[in-house]
Structure 1
Amino acid sequence: MASASPRTDTSADGDIDDKTPAFHDNQGMVVSNPSERSRDQKTLRRLAQNREAARKSRLRKKAYVQQLESSRMQLTQLEQDLQRARQQGKYISSTGDQSQSLSGNGALAFDAEYARWLEDHTRRANELRGAVNAHAGDAELRIIIDGLLTHYDDIYRIKAEAAKADVFHILSGMWKTPAERCFLWLGGFRSSELLKLLMVKLEPLTEHQMIAITNLQQSAQQAEDALSQGMEALQQSLADTLAGSLAQSNSAGNVASYMGQMAMAMGKLGTLENFICQADNLRKQTFQQLHRILTTRQSARAVIAINDYFSRLRALSSLWLARPRE
């Protein structure tokens, strides 16, 4: 019993030393505290969570920027595809609805349709010239003139459909010859300028006709000036909107602002179609009023003079393009 007692005491002391935290002596060692270890673990977890949140934020921002870049490349590719389609596509004449052919082939369809209209218009003008030279009666001349005026209505309707598909093509006048484009105004000619030419060509005119045509010319000029001012205001407003979309940063806020301003610019571009339609309507109404002022034979001479004027412009373009170059 006495010999076993010291071994028992030694074993118990060993167990106590294993389960109790080690306390160091006074030789520079610091005693470990459980509460301090708990606080350190919470701090480490919080730092790890912050790092993970920052990493996910960077990944989201990177994915957003990549998505924007991908969308931009897709738009660029789409524009290139459309340009190639316009250059390489073929117009298939259809006896059905003209709006379907225009929406399907855009500028190419309009160019082909305009070429057909111009060929038919030239034929009608030559028919009128032959009737005038043959001293046909007023009734026969009036029928031909009315057909020509209706034929003018056709091109205005075709242009309106084409403007819905590609307003810039109509506005730029790329469907006309270079010499004609020198005098282009909102997708066509200025009625006031043609009236000045016709007043000389149609002499002699009565005093009443001179006054009426002069008033018509001034009225057309005022309407043209108003449309020109509206077009200038639209261009300035569009330029201001595009300038406001310029940004130095790629932040999400700037991107959202950019998209909003571009949407505003798109809405303003939509008014270009209205300007073209208003200009064509002015041309149409001016010609209708002119023919009410003139006699039947004067109207015939006016139509022939207008046709000859534009024919000379087209011939001038052909001569210019065929000129010898050193």
Structure 2
Amino acid sequence: MADASPRTDTSTDDTDEKNQRFGRGQMNAIVASDSSERSKDKTDQKTLRRLAQNREAARKSRLRKKAYVQQLESSRLKLTQLEQELQRARQQGIFISSSGDQSHSMSGNGALAFDVEYARWLEEHNRKINELRTAVNSHAGDAELRIIVDSVTTHFDDIFRLKGTAAKADVFHILSGMWKTPAERCFLWIGGFRSSELLKLLANQLEPLTEQQFMGIQKLQQSSQQAEDSLSQGMEALQQSLAETLANGSPSAPSGSSGNVANYMGQMAMAMGKLGTLEGFLLQADNLRQQTLQQMHRILTTRQSARALLAINDYFSRLRALSSLWLARPRE
């Protein structure tokens, strides 16, 4: 028993040490478990936040899409309503108000009606130009080409007729060119293009020209320039006269007095009379454009006329494309 006693103490010590190690291991395991759970909780919270953000973004996206669809539907309904009004106007010769409860003259919806008609004209014009381009590229015969060229030329007459009708309702809308793109309006002259400038642009597109053709185009360009200068001077004189009429008031008369009212009414009547000549200037400018196109076709051959019409269309198409690019440019 004396010999066994030391071994017993040693065994006890070993057991205590093992118990201590086991206890530390359990503590470490608990600490590690707690750390793992906290990490897992943080991950779960991030995931929940991310899911919540995704749901919110999806909800906002659905709302935007719904609003966009509603806007498109509203625009479609308005366009359908306007087309119905135009159809009734063609049948009755008047324009019906959007409320449908009263009729009035063309001045009420003249601008909107012209914009719709112009859009249709432009669509048909593009179709005819595509037909002409196909005929030119396929080297169609002169007889076939002449029919298409005459069709495009006649279609230009339609837009001049539409503008003349619309000017009776709202001459300012036509003169300002609000029915055209911004880039086109930069080159606007009395509600349309300058014939002389267009002939300059076409000169390089129509080569080779015979000497007689070249002289004819030069003479046409000069006569168009002279007519444009004359109309421009007339417009400037009208603006000056109108400004003087509006400026010549009677500030000395008491406000609201019968004399002041009578002077004001007389003054505005004179201004209205002068404004009435604006329609005449527009009609003269469109008549000049129409005649220039017709005389140009008389000077050129059928194939040259086709190329000229394609060049004119490409020029205005680029102006419209330039407007779209400008409006869609990135802004800071």
TM-score (norm 2): 0.69
**Which sections of structure 2, spanning at least 5 residues, go unmatched?**
1-77, 96-104
Equivalent residue runs for 1:102-117 within 5 Å? 103=106, 105-117=109-121
Alignment match of 1:299 (pick from 302, 305, 309): 305
Alignment match of 1:287 (pick from 289, 293, 296): 293
Aligned-partner SS, 1:94: helix
Aligned equivalents of 2:308, 2:141: Cα separation in 1: 17
Counterpart contact for 1:167–1:272, Cα < 8 Å = yes
Match of 1:30 in 2: none
Query: Does 1:188 find its partner at 2:195?
Result: no
CA drift of 1:100 comes to 3.8
Alignment match of 1:90 (pick from 75, 82, 92): 82
**Aligned length, in residue pairs:** 240
Query: Does 1:323 find its partner at 2:329?
Result: yes
Match of 2:162 in 1: 158
Match of 1:6 in 2: none
Match of 1:76 in 2: none
Aligned equivalents of 2:279, 2:268: Cα separation in 1: 18
Aligned equivalents of 1:99, 1:187: Cα separation in 2: 25
Counterpart contact for 1:180–1:313, Cα < 8 Å = yes
Aligned-partner SS, 1:319: helix
Identity of aligned residues (%): 74
RMSD over aligned Cα, in angstroms? 2.0
Match of 2:316 in 1: 310
| Bigger shift: residues 97-106 or 197-206 | 97-106
Equivalent residue runs for 1:65-84 within 5 Å? none
CA drift of 1:99 comes to 6.0
Relative to structure 1, the CA distance from residue 211 to residue 240 in structure 2 (aligned partners, 3 Å threshold; closer, same or farther) is same
Alignment match of 1:263 (pick from 252, 265, 269): 269
Relative to structure 1, the CA distance from residue 99 to residue 153 in structure 2 (aligned partners, 3 Å threshold; closer, same or farther) is farther
Counterpart contact for 1:91–1:105, Cα < 8 Å = no
Aligned equivalents of 1:311, 1:100: Cα separation in 2: 33
Alignment match of 1:215 (pick from 208, 211, 219): 219
Relative to structure 1, the CA distance from residue 188 to residue 98 in structure 2 (aligned partners, 3 Å threshold; closer, same or farther) is farther
CA drift of 1:246 comes to 5.1
Counterpart contact for 1:99–1:161, Cα < 8 Å = no
User: Which residue type is aligned with residue 129 of structure 1?
Assistant: R
Q: Deviations over 1:59-80 (max 9, x none)?
A: xxxxxxxxxxxxxxxxxxxxxx
CA drift of 1:106 comes to 1.2
User: Which residue type is aligned with residue 90 of structure 1?
Assistant: L
Match of 2:244 in 1: 240
User: Which residue type is aligned with residue 94 of structure 1?
Assistant: Q
Q: Deviations over 1:164-184 (max 9, x none)?
A: 100100000000000000000
